[in-house]
């Protein structure tokens, strides 16, 4: 804590004395620092390399200060649940050091590391918007993440690939993957019984909208506009309070119906083409 105070030039008016547990905006649990909330304090400097010695830290909020890179290795902070770094001066943050975090606009680059799915305490993973690319880690399957927000990546390639792993993320209640380049079919949503908010718009997802999504009673918000979805437009009319964004206009999706028309079936020739597309995994170029 003394190293952190020195490297960020924290004034004595905020942190004074030799006992960090008595400092302002610091919380301790059993005499170990568990929370540091020094956002919006006009601090300037860097983070010390021994920051990960705060092994009991659960909440670290540094946002809206003039903190420059590099970010030190945070490996070993196994209790860290929330890390807020947005509106700082990091030019590149090594995401492989992160456990569970809300990073906001921190210009994080690279791929999402596979090991993020291994942390049992990780409930919220918010990494948007940043400059991430690549696919969703396989180890997300079966993780305890309840809120996953990866929308609006600004890298050239953005996040991409299949979203099949989501069908095993049964604790999800909020999922925002919009404004990326995800492709392939929608997963089976039948086990995501607590999912309330789902935003997949502005990707390149294909396939028919599965019945497991149409019949998900927990949904309160669903956004699927601007993909390559095909087949019969799904009918969500039985959900009176659902905030639905499913534009049927030509060019937004590839449903075989007219605007504002749901139900029925596609033309027989369309169904034949869909069966061919299915055997190829509903490739985007066939949509």
Class level of CATH domain 2-286 = alpha beta
**Which pTM does this prediction carry?**
0.72
Q: What is the pLDDT of residue 259?
A: 43
Residue whose structure tokens are 């991409």: 160
Report pLDDT for 193. 95
Give the integer Cα–Cα distance in Å for 82 and 75: 14
| Of residues 81 and 135, more confidently modeled | 135
> What pLDDT does 92 receive?
47
Check residue 119 and give its pLDDT: 58
84-143 tens-digit pLDDT: 776 676 554 544 444 445 555 555 566 776 656 655 667 777 777 777 788 998 888 888
Q: Is 262 exposed, middle or buried (CB count within 10 Å of its CB: 0-12, 13-18, 19+)?
A: middle
Domain extent listing, the chain:
2-286
Angle at 57 between CA 88 and CA 139, to 5 degrees: 85
* Element spanning 275, H or E: helix 268-279
Tokens at 207, concatenated: 């396939």
Residue pLDDT, tens place only, 256-284: 865 445 557 888 898 899 999 999 888 88
- What percent of the chain shows pLDDT beyond 70? 82
Is the backbone peptide bond immediately before 230 cis, with ω within 30 degrees of 0?
no
Radius of gyration of the chain (CA): 22
In this prediction, residues 48-57 reach a mean pLDDT of: 92
């Amino acid at each position: 804590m003394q190293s952190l105070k020195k490297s960020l030039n924290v004034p004595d008016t905020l942190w004074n004395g030799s006992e960090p547990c008595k400092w302002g905006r610091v919380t301790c649990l059993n005499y170990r620092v568990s929370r540091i909330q020094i956002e919006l304090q006009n601090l300037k400097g860097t983070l010390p390399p021994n920051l990960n010695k705060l092994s009991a830290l659960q909440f670290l909020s540094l946002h809206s200060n003039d903190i420059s890179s590099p970010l030190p290795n945070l490996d070993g902070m196994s209790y860290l649940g929330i890390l807020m770094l947005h509106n700082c001066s990091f030019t590149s943050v090594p995401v492989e050091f992160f456990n569970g975090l809300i990073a906001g606009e921190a210009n994080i680059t690279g791929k999402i590391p596979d090991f993020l799915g291994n942390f049992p305490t990780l409930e919220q993973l918010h990494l948007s918007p940043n400059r991430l690319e690549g696919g969703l880690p396989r180890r997300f399957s079966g993780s305890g993440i309840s809120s996953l927000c990866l929308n609006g990546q600004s890298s050239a390639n953005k996040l991409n690939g299949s979203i099949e792993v989501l069908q095993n993320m049964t604790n999800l209640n909020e999922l925002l993957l919009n404004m990326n380049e995800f492709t392939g079919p929608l997963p089976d949503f039948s086990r995501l019984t607590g999912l309330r908010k789902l935003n997949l718009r502005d990707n390149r997802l294909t396939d028919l909208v599965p019945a497991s999504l149409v019949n998900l009673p927990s949904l309160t918000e669903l956004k699927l506009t601007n993909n390559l979805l095909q087949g019969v437009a799904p009918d969500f009319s039985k959900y009176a309070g659902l905030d639905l964004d499913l534009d049927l206009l030509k060019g937004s999706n590839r449903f075989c119906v007219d605007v504002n028309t749901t139900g029925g079936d596609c033309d027989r020739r369309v169904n034949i083409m869909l069966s061919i597309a299915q055997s190829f995994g509903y490739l985007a170029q066939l949509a």
